[in-house]
Structure 1
Amino acid sequence: MFTTEEACLVVVDVQGKLATIVDESEAVIENVAKLVQAMQALEIPILWLEQNPNRLGGTALDIAQHLQGQAIAKMAFSACQEQEFVDALKASGRTQFIVTGIETHICVYQTARQLKEQGLEVEVVVDAVSSRTKANKEIGLEKMKALGILPTSTEMILYELLQHADHPHFKTVLQLVK
C-alpha cells in the first residue's frame, strides 16, 4: 500500500507540442494536474522532468501552474541517468514512486524500470500516461507490468494515499476527482 510518508510523484516530460498530440492528451494533462494538486495538499514531494526543454518546450501550462520550483532538465530517456534526478531522489528519502507522463513506451518506461531496478516500489498511473499511439502506450504498460511495475489510476492512487474518509485532506482531494 502506498502511503503519504513514503510516496513521491514523478511527472515525466508532459511538455511542449508533444503533450498536445499524444493519445487522449486532454485527459492525461487533466489527470496529471489533479495528481500534482493532490500531492501538494498531502505534502508528498513531486519530481518533475523535462526532456531537452530548449528544443521541446516547457511543461504544459495546465500542469506547470500548480508546480513549485524548477523542472529537472534531462537528455537521457531515463531520468535515473541524470545526476540531478538521482540527487533529488536520494534527498526525498522516499521509497514509493508514482510515475506519470509521456511517452509511456520511452521515457516513462525507462525511468520506471530503472527505479524498480533500484529496489524501489513503483506504480504507473495508466490514465495519466500516454504515447503518440495507443499501441505504444499499451506495449509500454505491458512491459512495465511484466517487470512488477503495477498499474493504478488517478482516483485509485489518491484514495490509497488517503486511506480513510476522515483524513484531514479528504475533502480537498475529493473536489479534485469529482
Structure 2
Amino acid sequence: MTERMTECMSPDPLAELINPEASALVLVDYQQRLMPAIHDAASVLAHAVRLADIARVMGVPVIGTEQNPHSLGPNEPAIRERCGATLAKMHFDACADGLVEALRALRGRSGQPLREVVIAGCEAHVCLMQTALGLLRAGLRVWVVEPACGSRRADDRALGLRRLERAGATCIGVEMVAFEWLRSCEHERFKALLPLLKTPIL
C-alpha cells in the first residue's frame, strides 16, 4: 500500500461526530457582574441554557466555571442550577485551577473516560479561549459552541473563535451538538429533546 493511499484512509477528526458516551459540557464564566457587558448577552445566555438542558436530557455531565467569583459574582442562576459542579478559578485558563482533573474524575454516560469536551462561555477571547487551549494541550477533543460564546466586543469574540479553530478546536452550533449526540430519530431521548430545539431563541 502506498503512502498516498494510507493518507487517504487515515481518519479525519473533522469528519467525526461528537461521541455522546465520552463527552462533557463545560460552561465558562456566565457571571452576574460580567454578563451585562457582553455583546448580545441575552442571546448568548439563552443558547447556553438550551445547551445545558440538552446535555442534561442526554445524561452528559455539565461543569461550570467562575472567574474570581468574589469580584465578578457567581454564574447566572439559570447556568449555575444546571451545572453538576462549579469550579472557582483565578487563572483565565480553568485547566490551571483543576478543570482537567475534575473532568478526568467523571465518566461519560456509559462509564467511558471523558475524551471530548463541548465548551462555551465568556469572554470568548479570554477565559473561554484560554480554557479551550488548555483542554487541547491536555489531549482532549474540543468542540466550541459558537452561539453560546460571548465577549464585550464582537470583533474580539471573532478573533478568539478564529484562533481556537486554527489551534484544532471545532466550532459548532447548539443544534449540531444535539443531533450528533442523538445520532438517530429512534433515540430514546429524541422526543424529549424536540421541545428544546423548537423553542425560539431571542
Same fold (TM over 0.5): yes
Tell me the distance in 2 between the aligned counterparts of 1:125 and 1:148. Answer: 14
Residue 100 of structure 1 corresponds to 120
Q: Deviations over 1:125-145 (max 9, x none)?
A: 000001000000000011001
Structure 1 residues 82-106: Cα deviation after superposition (integer angstroms, max 9, x where no partner): 13x2321211230000011100000
* DSSP-derived class of the 2:145 partner: strand
Paired letter, 1:101: G
| CA distance in 2 between partners of 1:62 and 1:9 (Å) | 15
116, 122, 140: which one aligns with 2:142: 122
The corresponding residue for 1:177 is 197
Gaps of 5+ in 1: none
Equivalence map 1:147-162=2 (5 Å): 147-162=167-182
Q: Which amino acid aligns with 1:150?
A: T
Which residue is equivalent to 2:184? 164
Deviation at 1:177, TM superposition (A): 1.6
Hey, what does 2:101 align to over in structure 1?
87
Q: Which moved more, 1:54-63 or 1:126-135?
A: 54-63
The question of whether the paired residues in 1 share the 8 Å contact of 2:44 and 2:148 is answered with yes
Q: SS where residue 71 of structure 1 aligns?
A: strand
TM-score (norm 1): 0.94
Q: Which residue matches 2:42? A: 26
- Residue type at the aligned position of 2:100: V
In structure 1, what is the Cα distance between the partners aligned to 2:69 and 2:95?
Answer: 17
AA aligned opposite 1:82: D
The one-character-per-residue Cα deviations of 1:48-100 (angstroms, maximum 9, x if unpaired) are 100011110111122223334x41100000011013x2321211230000011
For structure 2, the residue ranges without an aligned partner over 5 or more in a row are: 1-16, 107-112
Deviations 1:8-36 (A, max 9, x none): 10100001121122111111111111111
Paired with 1:142 and 1:86, the residues of 2 have a C-alpha distance of 23
Q: Match of 1:11, SS? A: strand
Contact 1:25 1:130 in 2 (8 A): yes
The one-letter code sitting in structure 2 at the alignment partner of 1:58 is P
Using the alignment, how far apart are the partners of 1:174 and 1:149 within structure 2?
27
- What is the one-letter code of the residue matched to 1:29? L
Contact 2:125-2:156 at 8 Å conserved across structures: yes
Once the two structures are superposed, residues 111-137 of structure 1 have per-residue CA deviations (whole angstroms, 9 ceiling, x without a partner) of: 101111122110100000010000000
2:92 to 70, 77, 80: 77
| Aligned mates of 1:162, 1:28 — CA distance in 2 | 23
Residue-pair matches, total: 176
Tell me, yes or no, if the aligned pair for 2:182 and 2:190 is still in contact at 8 Å: yes
Superposed CA RMSD in Å reads 1.1
Structure in which a larger fraction of residues adopt strand: 1
